[in-house]
Amino acid sequence: MTAVDWTAWSVVLLKPDCVARDLVEEVLGWIAAEATIVDQRIVLPSEDQIFAHYADLLTTRRAYFTWVDVPADLRRTYVGQSVGIALAHGPDVARRLRELIGSFDPSRAGDQTVRGYFGTDSFRQAKSEGRLIANIIHTSDDPAGAEREFQIWYGATNVHLLDPTALEGRTQP
């Protein structure tokens, strides 16, 4: 396989609140309007996967989260809870999906975004309850994030999913 063009890939994490509310297929329908969904699955994440995925919250951005014990809340929210994982493909997909999902705070996200439409939490409420915000979905921030998140959620045994020839004949949104 040739080198991967990570500008065309994004990993989608459907968070426990999305799965618990049975919104996986509906939310992926929104994603499919902007990208080809190459793979989707429900998984039980390990602590290692969650801590790797949210490494920035545990390191460079940790000082910002003064109201919450980030490691404990990540464990409580994710470990042993089902999440959805999807692999999305399309031109400039990370940027396009980030626009589609909207602000991290669903109460401030536009109604035409995934978080604005489906979200029920707010930053204010989460902070007052000493927890991280429940905001339905995460998508890769950029190509480097897509590559890193692919390794976390899919790993080397699934690199065949990144073969662009396997997408031939599929319609791109």
171: pLDDT confidence band, cut at 50, 70 and 90? Answer: low
Q: What is the pLDDT of residues 93-148, one digit of tens each?
A: 999 999 999 999 999 999 999 999 999 999 999 999 999 999 999 999 999 999 99
Q: Which of 129, 130, 109 is nearest to 119 (CA)?
A: 109
Q: What is the pLDDT of residues 70-93, one digit of tens each?
A: 999 999 999 999 999 999 999 999
Per-residue pLDDT, averaged over 7-33, amounts to: 98
Dihedral Cα 29, 20, 110, 41, nearest 10 deg: -40
- Rounded to whole angstroms, the Cα distance separating 98 from 148 reads 17
pLDDT over 70 at 55, yes or no: yes
Walk me through the domains of the chain, giving residue ranges and CATH numbers. 6-162 (3.30.70.141)
Residue 87: per-residue pLDDT? 98
